Structure 1
Amino acid sequence: MTGPDGSRTGGVPLRVLSYNVHGQRDDTAALAAVVRAAAPDVVVVQEGPRRFRWRQKSAWLAESLGMVVAGGGLPALGNLLLTNLRVRVTRTWSQRYPLTPGRHLRGAAYAECAVPGARFVVAGSHLSTDPAERPGQAVLFKQELDAVRLPLIVGADLNENEGGAAWRTVADGLTDTAVAADRADRFTYSCGDPRTRIDGIFVDPRITVVDYDVRDTPQTRRASDHFPVLADLLLPATD
């Protein structure tokens, strides 16, 4: 059943896509087509623009995907949050993890948002490929997540699967949308040789997981080296 605002009984629908876009180094037309076809309300981007003219590049990326920039970019070291016009962004902030000499800086992006009938926070991060520094980054990310009081949605490339310490740290107390939908066997990386699930969407237990998908199509295999992860959610209605 749906209410007069289009929401399902007992919650407000929200579609979230988490996507490592590989620095837009692949087929950008395919990338745009993939995201537009998914019609998400929120896109959590990893490996978005983070260097020279990052604001313009972020705006161009958002426009190509049919979205607008909500937050992130250089302050969040390439983690970018995009929304459609249904979503109102009320506050944003970014986080940077300590630099390990010889490694890339990593960080996270956050946005407090509202849709008709509900409020929520969305967060995105991309943890290190270095197994020595990744657990520490996960702890810092989790500390920031734990401070959030609104219903929380997390999209991340954790660079390890659910057996890893960093994954367990981030997922603790949250619902893994793939597990909730009984689809944790769907690999997210790599498009050329799918072999592991290192990308995930995690949600506050107050949020209902309606559906989950890893989009594996000829277009997604051209668009990036990661498959996009899509979750249909029901947010708790605002009192």
Structure 2
Amino acid sequence: MTHPGVPLRVVSYNIHGQRDDTAALAAVIREAAPDVVIVQEGPRRFRWREKSATLAASFGLVVAAGGLPALGNLLLTSLRVRVVDTRCRRFPLTPGRHLRGAAYADCRVGTSAWFTVAGSHLSTDAAERPGQAELFRRDVAAAPYPVIAAADLNEEPGGPAWTTVARGLTDAAVAVDRGERFTYSCADPRRRIDALFVDPRITVIDYDVVDTPLTRRASDHFPVLVDLLLPAAG
């Protein structure tokens, strides 16, 4: 007996530390109506728990994982998603550089569709990125369920860190022939540095880089919006 897939809508978004138009930011997410939002540059300092909860509420979502323990990587979900386990990682610090990390959550939709969501934000330093990418890849490879991994890689396709993270996964943009869509910057879009990869068992239905007047006010990155079909267990 075959089991139908379960739809899931995911947004990956570098929100620029909420330094832009926060009302526009909230409107962008509410209009997209995602099940999961993978945030880069979320709250990570003083009162980060309260700030993360406030951000999630402005989106109509709840906090699943991340924040300070993941150095600003934050995973948010709708009430449709049940989070069953979470973990965070901090990458080794290179003196003089910013701390970086990653957040992970094992989740379930309904009774049969299990998945692991992973989010990270790699260094702007080309010498530091590959090591962080390898740690992120190892975590993703060890995930107990089919993975949805999104990150601001600070690097374009073909680079060493991008290639490392992408190993064994499907680039959602390429899967639906949208690899030419740039994600950064909103002021002058010339680079695709925000990536979303999925386990080959997950079907990519649609992919979009949302370029609207609202998204141009909300952050310096465009959000990546992906519709997926999760495999349903027997």
| TM > 0.5 | yes
Query: 2 CA distance for matches of 1:188 and 1:10?
Result: 32
Paired with 1:23 and 1:80, the residues of 2 have a C-alpha distance of 12
State the 1:200 CA deviation. 1.0
Residue number among 217, 220, 224 corresponding to 2:219 in the alignment: 224
Could you list the per-position Cα deviations for residues 207-229 of structure 1 after superposition, in whole angstroms to 9, with x for gaps in the alignment? 00000000000000000000000
Task: Return structure 1 stretches of 4+ with deviation > 6 angstroms.
Answer: none
Q: CA RMSD in A?
A: 0.7
Q: Does 1:86 align with 2:86?
A: no
Counterpart in the other structure of 2:66: 72
Give the equivalent residue in structure 1 for 2:145.
150
**C-alpha distance in 1 between matches for 2:21 and 2:196:** 24
CA shift at 1:10, angstroms?
Answer: 2.7
1:6 is matched with none
Give the Å deviation of 1:77: 0.2
Displacement after TM superposition at 1:149 (Å): 2.8
Query: What SS does the aligned partner of 1:168 have?
Result: helix
Q: Number of matched residues?
A: 231
Within 5 Å, give how 1:37-48 maps onto structure 2.
37-48=31-42
In structure 2, stretches of 5+ residues that fail to align are: none
Give per-residue Cα distances to partners, 1:75-103, cap 9 Å, x unaligned: 00000000000000000000010000000
1:56 aligns to what?
A: 50
1:159 aligns with 2:154: yes
Residue matched to 2:89: 95
Q: Distance in 1 between matches of 2:158 and 2:29?
A: 29
1:36 aligns with 2:30: yes
Look up the SS of the partner of 1:94 in the other structure: strand
State the Cα distance separating 1:163 from its structure 2 match: 1.8
AA matched with 1:215:
V
Match of 2:183 in 1: 188
Q: Distance in 2 between matches of 1:158 and 1:221?
A: 20
Deviation of 1:74 after TM superposition, in Å, equals 0.2
- 1:160-209 Cα offsets, whole Å, 9 max, x none, are 01021000000010000000010000000000000010001100000000
Q: Distance in 2 between matches of 1:119 and 1:147?
A: 15
Report Cα offsets for 1:10-35 as digits up to 9, x if no partner: 30000000000000000000000000
Distance (whole Å) between structure 2 residues aligned to residue 39 and residue 146 of structure 1 = 29
**Other structure's SS at 1:191 match:** coil
Q: Report the CA distance between 1:45 and its aligned residue.
A: 0.1
Pick aligned residue for 1:203 from 198, 207, 215? 198
Equivalent position SS for 2:149: strand
What is the aligned-residue identity percentage? Answer: 75
